[in-house]
Amino acid sequence: MQPDLEFLHSLADAAAKETLPRFRVNTEITNKLQSGFDPVTEADRAAEEAIRALIGQNFPDHGIMGEEHGSVGLDREYVWVIDPIDGTRAFISGLPVWGTLIGLYKNGRAVAGLMDQPFTGERYVADESGTYYRGPDGKRPVKARDCTSLADATLFTTSPHLFAGEQAERYGAVEAQVNLFRYGCDCYAYALVASGNADLVIENDLAAYDIGALIAILESAGAVVTNWDGGRPEQGGDIIAAGSRAVHEQALALLNG
């Protein structure tokens, strides 16, 4: 059986009990890279453990792909894709734009997902029936907006400094065409596209767990999300998400030269 949305909510609640008490307090940070900076905190590890424990209790035959504690059963019909804190740099900096990402794949295709920002109390959850928002201003279904031109679009990326060489030139060509561009929102930016507050997110070199939960949130809200070559995004890579097909096509043309 495919889990319902209430089960996804229970996973997010369990993760929030681990992340919130550790947000904006002195916390131990470990760098996962010998060269560069890829931080992980106790909150990352504890939140993923809490999520995995509930999945194991309720759906022991499901596979799990997790950022902090590895993968098991990736060849199974259902596979959970977990990023306990997407935006760890934001988390350790005190910025409330990080989120807990929990996605579900069926036979390799995203069918459900959740993005939770427990500090602001905002949560986006989706399955094939739609994308739903829950926050301080109530509960409601959300839809992406039908922006028809890049010239009217709002664009997000985590940082333009993550692009280099030809990729930087291609990204810059898109940024030069949009109405407004903003930096640094990680998974929160994709939720803004799904809810009709922004129109475009462009990023590169994402892992599957960076995007897996967001695919259903975007697609069930009417948005489009692919790789830069127009292919399916479930395995990560260079990602473009747009609220409308028109903006997606215009941006994709520029990204492909």
End-to-end CA distance of the chain: 44
pLDDT in tens, 188-224: 999 999 999 999 999 999 999 999 999 999 999 999 9
Q: Is the pLDDT of residue 2 over 90?
A: no
136 in Cβ contact with 120 (< 8 Å): yes
* pLDDT at residue 67 in the model: 83
Residue 107's Cβ-count burial label (10 Å; 0-12, 13-18, 19+) is exposed
Q: Is the pLDDT of residue 29 over 70?
A: no
Considering only residues 25 and 189, tell me which one the structure prediction assigns the higher pLDDT: 189
pLDDT in tens, 108-126: 999 999 999 999 999 999 9
Residue 36 neighbours by CB under 8 Å, 6+ apart: none
* pLDDT at residue 33 in the model: 43
One-letter amino acid at 138 equals G
pLDDT in tens, 47-90: 999 999 999 999 999 999 998 888 999 999 999 999 999 998 89
Q: Is the pLDDT of residue 36 over 60?
A: no
Output the average pLDDT for the chain: 94
- Model confidence band, residue 35 (pLDDT cutoffs 50, 70, 90): low
* pLDDT at residue 37 in the model: 46
* pLDDT at residue 219 in the model: 98
Domains of the chain: 5-141 (3.30.540.10), 150-255 (3.40.190.80)
